[in-house]
Structure 1
Amino acid sequence: MSMRKARYSCMKGFSLIEIALALLLVGIFFTSMFASTSALTLVEKQQKQENEMSDIHQAMLTYLKVNHHLPCPDTDGDGKENRKITSGVAVCKSRSGTLPYLDLSVGGKDVWGSAYYYQVNARAENKKYVNDMCQTSSVFGSEGAVTVSNKLAYCSSAHVYYCQGCDSVCSSACKTGGSIDVSSFNAPPYMQLGTPPIGSDKAGSGTNSHKNLWLEDASGNEIENALVYVVASFGADGLVTWDNCQKASSARQKENCDGDEVFSETKGDNQDFLDAMTVLDAKRALLEVGAIK
C-alpha cells in the first residue's frame, strides 16, 4: 500500500513538472510570436507609408497639370491651401504648414495618425517673386499680373523666354525688361522652360539665390537639390516631433522639422518619410499638358 502511494505521489509530482514546463514553453512561444507580430506590423506600416508618399507625389503632379501651379501650405488645418491677395497677387500665407489634402484628394493623416508637414520655396510668400518667371517660386503663382524682372529676356523669333539674356541664341533682336509684352501673362503657369535653375542649384548654401530646398542622405551628403517642395511624415514618433521639433529622435529627424531649407533621409524604427519635387519634375509635368512649350 505504501509503495503504491509512493508511486502515485511520484507520478503526480512528475505531472506537475510537465505542466509547469509546458506553461513555460507556451509563454515563451506567445512572447516570441507577439514580438514577431509587433515587428511585422511596424514593417507593414512603413511599407504602407511609402506607398502613401507615392500617392501624394502623383496627386501633386496631377494638381500641377490641372491648375498649372502647385498648392500653398494649409495654415489653419482645414485641408485646403491658404493664400492672401497682396496688390492683386496671390501669395502663400506661409512657406510651411500641413498638406492641403482636400485640394489634392489624398488622406490628411499618415499611418500613425499624424498630419503631414508641407514646406515650399520661401519666395512663394512674396508678391515680388511668386509671379516672376525668373524665380523658381513662380510654380506657386496662381493669379495676378506677371512680374517682369531685369533678368527677363524674350526671343520673338523662337517665342521663348530667357532669364539670363538671349542675344547669343536668338536670330532676332533679344527684347529685355519693359520692352517685353507680357500682357497675356495674367494667369498660370508663370513658370516657363527658362525659369531657373537650369540643372542643379546649391540650395541651402550662400549661393542659393532661388531659395529652393535640398535633400541629404543619412550621412549628411547632398543627394538632391532644386526642390520646390517637401512633404514629410514624421513617422512612428510623429506626435513627439509635432509637439516639439527639438525632441525628435535624432539630429537627422530634426532637419525635417526645423523649417530651414535642408531636409534629410532617416533610418530606423522612427524614420521619417519624404516626398519632394524638383524644378525639372515641375517643368516636365507642365510640358506634358502643353502648358509651356
Structure 2
Amino acid sequence: MGSLFLAMLAPGANAADVTGVAFVHGTGQQTNAYQDYWKPQMVDSVRQGLSNPANYTVINCDFEQYMWDSRAAGCLAGQLTSFINQRGITRLVVVTHSNGGNVMRWIMSNPTWDSRYPSIIDKLVRVNAIAPSSAGTPLADAVMNGNVFEQSLGWLLGYKSDAVRMQQESWMAVYNGQYLYGTSGRPGLPRTFRSVVGSDVESAIWDSDSYCGGYAENVGLETTQNWLDDCSDGFLECSSQSAAGSVWFVDKSRTRDREPLSHNQSRRACFRLDTILRSDMQQ
C-alpha cells in the first residue's frame, strides 16, 4: 500500500508538499485579471488540476512599467510571497502570458535584487510561459514610432508605456545579453521556463473557432500579422516566443483540431489549452 501511495505522488514531490499555481498576466495595469485578462473559465479550469483547487492566485500588478520596477517585479514578488506564506505553498507553478514571462525571468535571473526573490525561486517548480515576448516584437517598435499600430493595438499593448518601450527588439536584445538568463549564450535559468508557442491567427467570419477569445481582437491580430514572420500569433513571432528556456509545445501539435492560438486566444480557454495546463498541475 505504501509503495502504491508513493507511486501516485508527482515527480519531485512528497507527502508534505503543497502545490499552488499563480497566474501572471502580460502587459497592462490589472486590477481584476481573473475577470478581465484570463477570464474565469480559464483560471477555474486549470486550478482543478491541483489536489486543492483553492491553492491558486491571480496576480494584479502594473506591468506597464519596466520589468524591474517596484510596481512590476516588486508587486509580483509581494503577491507571490503572500500567496506562498498564506497557503503554505512548497511547490509553485506559474502560468504566465506575454510580457509576464519577462517579469518572471527578471526575478529568476536577479536573485540579489530583492530579498523576496530567493524564497520565490526556492519554491518555484516551473514557469509555463504562454506566448512569452522573450525577444520582443517589431510591433513594439511600431507603437513607439507612433504609426497605425498605436491605435489598432491599443487594447493589447497599451500606448507608449515603459513596458512597450522595453519590448522593442533591440532593447530586449540588450536585456537578454546583460540582465536576463535563459537565452542563447547566457546562463540557464534556475528553474524550468518553457514556452507554449502560438504560430498563426485565424479570423474567418464563418469559422466559429475565430470567435474564441474575441472575434474583433483576432481580426486585428491577423492584420498585424502581415508585418511579422509567417510563424507568429499576430503579436509575437515564433522566434521571440522560443527565445528563452525551452519550447514546451507549438500550439497546433496539441490543440483541438490542430487550431492555432492567436496572442489573444492563448490567455483564454481555447482549443483545450486549459485542459493541457490543468493536466500539468498534476506533474
TM-score, with structure 1 as normaliser = 0.28
Judging by fraction of residues, say which structure has more helix.
2
Q: Which has the higher contact order (CA 8 A, sep 6+)?
A: 2
Structure number having the greater strand percentage: 1
Between structure 1 and structure 2, the one with the greater Rg is 1
TM-score (norm: length of structure 2)? 0.29
